[in-house]
């Protein structure tokens, strides 16, 4: 009997585009639009204004006053942002300011504001109107009983070889992939490989206690996740069906201290050990090195994420297996860029224009 293949799937923001998720270049514009239109219920508006102030300080723009005026009139606008600015760039600048102990701005405050902006915008764009009481996401629209499977669900049921060693690497904070892996019956038992000290997910908690099945897969979220929280003293906690705002209004279940998001910015100098997820990057390195097939869906290897680029460059080169490469992206320029990035370190290549077509052609 042939040995099972090692299949690695890589997800970026482009994979979620069909479900309303914003691309990197759209993130700031979309978040400010939602704020101005008053679509974000009980949004921490001050955080959004701080992000606008950060942009104005760094670029000499006039975003804050433009956004405040539109919000006062409840007019949804997309403000006049500096050309080429991205949320990743702002995160990079703020992280470098903190690392260098710069005192001319309160970079810690702006980091918290950016976290609010990112998570609130994500939840607004991908889960509109889908929250139940007290911030609990309505499970009937996202659990195993859902009637209308989305493209992630169809991907899992039609594209995944359960006999293979599957590793899913995600650079997204949202949890569409997480839920899709548990959608089919039986589910693809996906292990975050995280040392959670508290889990509000009976199915996953039971798997942790009883052990994962031989068919389990690895789900490595290298930039953190919308549904993870961390207590500095006690460690990580998992909240799969709870909104961002509610998670961080809760105290640590063990010591009652406040919780913080697990959001690793794609900066030039990631301090992975400080975030407590460095082991996930090591595990990703092992999976990529051993990969027979690599499929990249909606991830463009942005220049700011130099750690991720080096992860793949190093792992594929040292693995020496020349894996097959499938690139799923609507942009021809991005597909060409990824091909050039891997060069001759990969073997057979397949180019697909979008996630839906890739799933339909299974």
Q: What are the sequence ranges of the domains in the chain? A: 6-19+143-227+260-360, 24-130
What pLDDT, on a 0 to 100 scale, did the predictor assign at position 329? 95
What pLDDT, on a 0 to 100 scale, did the predictor assign at position 66? 95
What pLDDT, on a 0 to 100 scale, did the predictor assign at position 113? 94
What pLDDT, on a 0 to 100 scale, did the predictor assign at position 45? 87
CATH of 6-19+143-227+260-360 among 1.10.10.10, 3.40.50.2300, 3.40.50.1220, 3.30.390.50? 3.40.50.1220
What pLDDT, on a 0 to 100 scale, did the predictor assign at position 147? 55
Containing 216, the helix (H) or strand (E) segment is none
What pLDDT, on a 0 to 100 scale, did the predictor assign at position 139? 37
Residue 334: strand, helix, or coil: helix
All residue ranges of the chain with pLDDT < 70 are 1-2, 39-44, 127-147, 214-215, 267-271
> What totals of helices (H) and strands (E) does the chain contain, helices first?
14, 11
What pLDDT, on a 0 to 100 scale, did the predictor assign at position 267? 62
Task: Count CB-CB contacts under 10 A for residue 85.
Answer: 18
What pLDDT, on a 0 to 100 scale, did the predictor assign at position 268? 54
What pLDDT, on a 0 to 100 scale, did the predictor assign at position 152? 93
Summarised one tens digit per residue, pLDDT across range 110-162 is 999 998 898 888 888 876 544 333 333 333 333 444 557 889 999 999 999 98
Containing 284, the helix (H) or strand (E) segment is helix 278-290
What pLDDT, on a 0 to 100 scale, did the predictor assign at position 136? 35
């Amino acid at each position: 009997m042939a040995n099972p293949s090692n299949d690695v799937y890589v997800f970026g923001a482009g994979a979620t585009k069909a479900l309303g998720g914003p691309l990197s270049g759209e993130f700031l514009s979309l978040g400010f639009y939602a704020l101005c239109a008053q679509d974000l219920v009980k949004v921490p508006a001050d955080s959004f204004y701080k992000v606008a102030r950060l942009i104005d300080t760094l670029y000499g723009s006039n975003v804050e006053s433009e956004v405040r005026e539109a919000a006062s009139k409840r007019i949804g606008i997309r403000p006049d942002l500096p050309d080429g600015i991205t949320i990743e760039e702002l995160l990079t600048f703020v992280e470098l300011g903190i690392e260098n102990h710069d005192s001319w701005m309160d970079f810690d405050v702006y980091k918290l504001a950016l976290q609010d902006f990112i998570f609130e915008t994500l939840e607004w764009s991908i889960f509109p109107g889908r929250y139940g009481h007290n911030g609990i996401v309505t499970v009937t629209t996202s659990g195993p009983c859902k009637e209308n499977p989305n493209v992630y669900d169809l991907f899992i049921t039609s594209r995944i070889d359960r006999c293979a060693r599957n590793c899913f690497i995600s650079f997204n904070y949202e949890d569409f992939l997480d839920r899709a892996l548990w959608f089919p019956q039986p589910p693809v038992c996906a292990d975050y490989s995280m040392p959670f000290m508290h889990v509000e997910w009976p199915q996953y908690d039971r798997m942790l206690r009883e052990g994962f099945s031989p068919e389990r897969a690895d789900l490595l979220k290298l930039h953190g996740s919308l549904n993870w929280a961390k207590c500095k003293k006690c460690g990580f906690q998992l909240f799969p069906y709870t909104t961002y705002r509610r998670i961080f209004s809760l105290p640590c279940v063990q010591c009652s201290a406040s919780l913080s998001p697990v959001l690793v910015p794609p900066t030039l100098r990631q301090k992975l050990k400080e975030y407590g997820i460095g082991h996930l990057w090591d595990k990703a390195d092992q999976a990529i090195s051993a990969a027979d097939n690599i499929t990249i869906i909606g991830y463009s290897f942005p220049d700011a994420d130099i750690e991720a680029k080096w992860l793949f460059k190093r792992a594929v080169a040292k693995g020496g297996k020349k894996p097959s490469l499938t690139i799923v992206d609507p942009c021809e320029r991005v597909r060409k860029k990824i091909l050039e990035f891997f060069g001759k370190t990969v073997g057979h290549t397949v180019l697909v224009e979008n996630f839906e077509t890739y799933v339909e052609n299974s």
